[in-house]
Amino acid sequence: MNLDQLRDRLILAIHSDKSADDYFRTHLDDPEMLLSLCVICAPYNKYSNDCRMQAAHYLSLAPSKLLGQIIPVLCVLVSIPDEGGEDMNGNIACPLLTAIERGKPFFEGIIYHDLEDLKKRYAC
């Protein structure tokens, strides 16, 4: 499924479409989909904040072991300011920080971000 098709499903899921929600929940163990959701979460792309929030939500639900494999990507995402240099929307950052926390036990590297400071900054 390409990014635009995923975006369309995210929009359906935002509006409580059960089949769209079921799709994401049954594919949370697909590393390719998780990386696609990361791309959608990134600022400076054509996707609305609603899509970005929903993508971040599903990322936060992914299996911890898989999240551990994409922690570097998640850390970059929470570090990138939105357009205009402002902090990322907290409704996007907080689920990403949850995903990082859940994946930490399965990550074999060093996380250079102060996660507690980021949680305070985004009021998570």
Radius of gyration of the chain (CA): 14
What pLDDT, on the 0 to 100 scale, is given for residue 103?
Answer: 95
Question: Count of domains in the chain?
Answer: 1
Give dist(CA 116, CA 97) in Å, integer: 9
Which amino acid is it at 105?
P
What pLDDT, on the 0 to 100 scale, is given for residue 11?
Answer: 95
Q: Tokens 């996660």 map to which residue?
A: 115
For 45, 88, 93, 119, the CA distances from 124, given in Å and listed in that order, are 24, 13, 8, 5
Give dist(CA 69, CA 21) in Å, integer: 24
What pLDDT, on the 0 to 100 scale, is given for residue 74?
Answer: 95
What pLDDT, on the 0 to 100 scale, is given for residue 62?
Answer: 97
> 78 exposed, middle or buried (CB, 10 Å; 0-12, 13-18, 19+)?
buried
Give dist(CA 102, CA 106) in Å, integer: 9
Q: What is the per-residue pLDDT across 26-49, written as a single tens digit (0 to 9) for each? A: 999 999 999 999 999 988 777 888
Residues in the chain, pLDDT under 70: none
Cα angle 91-106-79, degrees, rounded to a multiple of 5: 35
**Residue 91 belongs to what domain range?**
3-121
